[in-house]
Structure 1
């Protein structure tokens, strides 16, 4: 069996995804039951899956440009891609052709391409939405593989390459929240990224689709003006104790805006405070799931830069992850990477300020 086949098989059977797609809420879910008289999710999920199976894989190509990689690194408040590499701040031509993308930086490419009137009410790309009312999307988790070649080395995506992205819908499962009886649909999507050397990245994502919200009626009273808030730049600090590494981060509304703009992600929970609070019920704008994934992998590679002579080949074999609670702008949170078990697996947890687990991951 080839490494590519093994990776794809693992993607289809990953255990972390099957443990539950909470996606920003501690929901306990079970398969939707047909016996519920007004259950919509099973039939809509089946119709959605049938539609995309008949359509088949969707493919598009793109040349990976240097500007996008430079802007992503600056948005992440990283002045350079690797230690001892040129500064990217306020320079032109700092990223040369052939520069390898660090793990998960492919998320800045192949951005959605839609007119605003083609987006969902919450601003999300609706191209993979099930039918109404299941149109409210959240990123629940996923798994990414970087296949190895016959020489045991990865095949990194590089600036200047023409890359082909192929998207496949793998699954659509109806679920019910036990505590509330709320229906939802969990959609599994695989994105394959291929360059001239073959498959470079296999990225499987699980999205949770919940029923659309009823828009609140605007209040006739004039709201009180918000109190001025002192805004400081985003911050990051890292400490290590034995085989445990901790990075404390604070993402600002500026960082979230820049990440949304760079990835053309118009989901309103990431930049509209009124939407996030009044419509979605969050206490502030929400840190992006993909941004958390990148932050996890940045900590992983930063803690092993000294172990390699070629930082551009510093790619894990895989990462599996799932979101369990939201993180908010301007709050400090911790990423804890634990390698103490000595089995070659890096276990990661992101903790909210009140010590809830916001995301779990395993890196191999």
Structure 2
């Protein structure tokens, strides 16, 4: 384990309500958020964009590694999970500051070959008050071997108290990519997803699944103090997900029963 970039990278954003309204509409809700309203959990993903010119992007559409995220020479990226601590509400229409740092990076060997494990920490402040701490766990991998046997995903539990079915299509994935300024081609370029990264279709964003789970948790449990999620298998755009909840546990189940994500919500 080694430190990658101990000096934080800072950004400011006015938290424009129009962007939050656009996500509400994208998720099928009424676009009614306004200046002064609390930002719903995980909606901060819409802000603090870091645009890069085309020649600073990798083949997958993400910014090239190096700088905040160390370059380990591994081409495939996956957002493996995250943890959030909600200290104070963020308010729409007022400037916020985000300080980002790569807390650690590690190179190791897994069943599928070389892996790079990276953890980012983001602290978001408003009026000099810490409102949100987020940890992002990223995995970088080698190109897939088309002749290697496919990994066997875990089977999701079936003891939920609440279940919400959610369908995805290419328009939803495109709009979420646009709103989060996520250029990862596995979410909108099906030829690339299939022929280069070896998926069976477009991949539903892990953070989009986490977003649905967070909103579900808040609706059922009340305002959140913390939330943690872990992606365990990809969900394809043509699959209908089952969002499940029992107590503080939440998970995403695919139509064939495989577990795509697990999460734990901690209410206030």
Fold-level similarity (TM above 0.5): yes
2:231 counterpart of 1:361: no
Q: CA deviation at 1:273?
A: 0.4
Query: Alignment partner for residue 64 of structure 2, among 123, 126, 130?
Result: 126
Contact 1:271 1:285 in 2 (8 A): yes
User: Which residue of 1 is the match for residue 155 of structure 2?
Assistant: none
Q: 2: distance between equivalents of 1:213 and 1:124?
A: 18
Q: Which range is displaced more, 130-139 or 281-290?
A: 130-139
Report the CA distance shift for 1:171/1:268 in structure 2 as closer, same or farther (over 3 A).
same
**SS of the residue 1:57 aligns to:** strand
Contact 1:132 1:211 in 2 (8 A): no
CA distance in 2, matches of 1:328, 1:135: 21
Residue in structure 1 matching 2:83, options 139, 143, 152: 143
- The higher radius of gyration belongs to 1
The answer to whether the 8 A contact 2:46-2:179 is kept is: yes
Other-structure match for 2:107: 174
Of 229, 253, 256, which residue of structure 2 is paired with 1:321?
229
Partner of 1:100: 38
Greater fraction of residues in helix: 1
Distance 1:58 1:211 in 2: 27
TM (normalized to structure 2)?
Answer: 0.88
Matches of 2:124 and 2:141, distance apart in 1: 29
Q: Which residue of structure 2 aligns with residue 279 of structure 1?
A: 196
Q: What are structure 1's unaligned runs of at least 5 residues? A: 1-44, 80-87, 89-93, 148-154, 215-241, 305-313, 340-345
Shift of 1:213: 6.8
1:76 lines up with 2:16 in the alignment:
no
Quick check: 1:129–1:209 contact (8 Å CA) kept in 2? no
**In structure 2, what is the equivalent of residue 200 of structure 1?**
131
Q: Deviations over 1:87-129 (max 9, x none)?
A: x2xxxxx432101111111111112211122111100123544
Distance 1:336 1:255 in 2: 21
Are positions 1:160 and 2:98 aligned together? no
Cα deviation, 1:320-362, whole Å, max 9, x if unaligned, reads: 11111001112111111101xxxxxx10111111111100111
Structure 2 CA distance for partners of 1:213 and 1:132, relative to 1, 3 Å = farther
Deviation at 1:142, TM superposition (A): 1.3
Asked if structure 1 preserves the Cα contact closer than 8 Å seen for 2:144 and 2:198, the reply is no
Normalising by structure 1, we get a TM-score of: 0.66
Shift of 1:175: 2.1
Structure 1 CA distance for aligned equivalents of residues 244 and 34 of structure 2: 33
d(CA) in 1 for partners of 2:179, 2:186: 16
